[in-house]
Amino acid sequence: MKLPLILWIASGSQALPILASFKYGRKLSVPRRWIVGLAVLLILNDAVLLWYARQGISNLWITYLARPLVLATVLMALSYWQPSARIRTLYRMAIPVFLVILLVVSVLVEDRTTYSLITGPFEDLILFAASLATVLVGAWRLEGSLAKQDWFWVGIGLALMHGTSAGFDPVARILVGRDIASLETISKVAAWIDLAASLLIVGGMLCPIPRLRVSSGPTLSASSPSPSSSPHSAPPW
């Protein structure tokens, strides 16, 4: 099966955050380093999917392995952008809980030979909520410009990516083997959305790195929103 050009473009766009990270090199903040790790993970996931597809081997089971890694990576990145230690801890404590849920459901409930009915939407909805919450809380506490905040652009990009992909797997599961033309159409739409999400994330990676403030009182991380500053699972082939 010949892949539509937009699928190649969307997959390749996942490397853009990595390229953008070279702007700051060693000065790159910790959450942005996690976003680079996410980009590497998504690229590897797509590469393995493509390799198995070229061999004519079923590859949908790979997404069940990638999802827990994506969830953990995104939540860790977002945790560094939280305005309080309590929320940061909440994000990180949620990781093992959700990983156990994904593992149990994947093994006991899901049919790993086809598109996900539960774990895919579950992971996407969790990350959509976590990303959107980061943006909303940060924007509410911010007095400056949102356009200069890395967490704003990255959070919007992640929310767009996971919010729209939450329904992809269930719909694809219905269409596969029944209506391949429609499945290809929604795959193209998902690819366009992923491309837009990647560009938003790149915008965040290129934002100025906030400077640490010298203060006698409590301080926040340089890349955390404060009152005065600051695979989606790719369509298997």
Provide the pLDDT confidence category of residue 112 given band limits of 50, 70 and 90. confident
Task: Give 211's pLDDT tier (boundaries 50, 70, 90).
Answer: low
What pLDDT, in 10s, does the model give residues 172-196? 988 988 888 999 999 999 999 999 9
Model pLDDT for residues 17-39, shown as the tens digit of each residue: 999 999 999 999 999 999 999 99
| CA 198/CA 177 separation, integer angstroms | 30
Which pLDDT belongs to residue 12? 95
| Residue 58 DSSP label | -
Look at residue 149 and tell me if it is in a domain.
Answer: yes
What is residue 228's predicted lDDT score, i.e. its pLDDT? 35
- CA distance linking residue 166 with residue 160, whole number of Å: 10
pLDDT tens per residue across span 37-93: 999 999 999 999 888 888 878 788 899 999 999 999 999 999 999 999 999 999 999
The span from the first CA to the last CA of the chain, in angstroms, equals 9
CATH code, 189 = 1.20.1070
- How large is the average pLDDT for residues 134-149? 91
Report, as an integer, the average pLDDT of 113-121.
90
CA gap 106, 99 in Å, rounded:
10
Q: Does 48 fall in a domain?
A: yes
Q: Does the residue 221 lie in any domain? A: no
Domain range holding 163?
5-205
Question: Is residue 219 in a domain?
Answer: no
Question: Is 218 or 149 the better-scoring residue by pLDDT?
Answer: 149
Domain count, the chain: 1
Q: What percent of the chain has pLDDT over 90?
A: 67
Distance CA 75, CA 95 (A): 7
- SS3 labels along 174-224: HHCCCCHHHHHHHHHHHHHHHHHHHHHHHHHHCCCCCCCCCCCCCCCCCCC
Answer yes or no: is 228 within a domain.
Answer: no
In a domain, 171, yes or no: yes
Cα distances (angstroms) measured from residue 51 to each of 16, 46, 54, 229: 22, 9, 5, 45
Q: Which of the four pLDDT bands, split at 50, 70 and 90, describes residue 137?
A: very high
